[in-house]
């Protein structure tokens, strides 16, 4: 049994097996539980089929965990940066609507320099192990109000 890619085990009693995890010890991001086909059942026989389950923890209410489409504050620093909120993302790209998408960039920081155009929506697409269809937008006017 693998827990986040590391060897682990279950506690079994009768027909039920559980894995006790202290949720407060888990970091934000992707987690996985995998039972390999070579895992042994209670009788010592190989289970013969693999199982994998993934889930994500996001205590920051980000765009991937919550399927947000509009994120006021995505455009920040008076249009000079993008302030990301995308726990679980590994790549992203940005677009001022009407222009081309930027190249895909590795997601590893909370802000990215960007030249937003006032009153033109900005879209950010995030790629996660879950999907590449997480798109969120924001729009900012010269007066600092949202469009």
pLDDT band at 36 (very low <50, low <70, confident <90, very high): confident
Decide: 102 and 115 in contact? Cβ < 8 Å. Answer: no
Do the beta carbons of residue 61 and residue 87 sit within 8 Å?
no
Q: Which residue has the higher pLDDT, 47 or 79?
A: 79
| Contact criterion met (CB below 8 Å) for 92 and 84 | yes
| 88 pLDDT higher than 80 | yes
**b/e sequence 26-50, b meaning 16+ C-beta within 10 Å:** eeeebbebbbeeebeeeeeeeeeee
Q: For 63, left (φ over 0), alpha (ψ -120 to 50), or beta?
A: alpha
Task: Say what the pLDDT of residue 131 is.
Answer: 75
- What is the average pLDDT across 90-114? 94
**Higher-pLDDT residue of 145, 56:** 145
DSSP string for the chain: -EETTEE---EEETTEEE----GGGSPSEEEEEEE-TT-B-TTS-B--S-EEEEEEE-TT--HHHHT-SB-TTSEEGGGTEEE---TTEEEEEEEETTSPPPPPEE--SSEEE--PPTTS-EEEEEEETTEEEEEEEE-B-TTS-B-
User: What's the pLDDT at 61?
Assistant: 73
Identify which has the larger pLDDT, 74 or 60: 74
* Interval 23-33: pLDDT, tens: 788 888 888 88
What predicted TM-score, i.e. pTM, was given to this entire model? Answer: 0.72
133 pLDDT band (50/70/90 cuts)?
A: confident
């Amino acid at each position: 049994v693998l827990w986040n890619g590391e060897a682990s085990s279950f506690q079994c009693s009768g027909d039920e097996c559980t894995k006790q995890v202290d949720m407060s010890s888990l970091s934000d991001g992707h987690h996985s539980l995998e039972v390999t086909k070579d895992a042994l059942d209670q009788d010592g026989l190989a289970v013969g089929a693999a199982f994998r389950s993934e889930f994500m923890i996001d205590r920051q209410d980000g765009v991937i965990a919550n399927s947000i489409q509009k994120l006021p504050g995505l455009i920040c620093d008076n249009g000079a940066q993008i302030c990301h909120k995308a726990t679980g993302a590994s790549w992203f790209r940005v677009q001022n609507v009407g222009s081309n998408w930027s190249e895909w960039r590795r997601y590893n920081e909370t802000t990215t320099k960007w030249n937003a155009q006032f009153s033109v929506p900005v879209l950010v697409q995030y790629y996660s192990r879950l999907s590449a269809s997480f798109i969120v937008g924001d729009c900012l006017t010269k007066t600092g109000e949202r469009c």
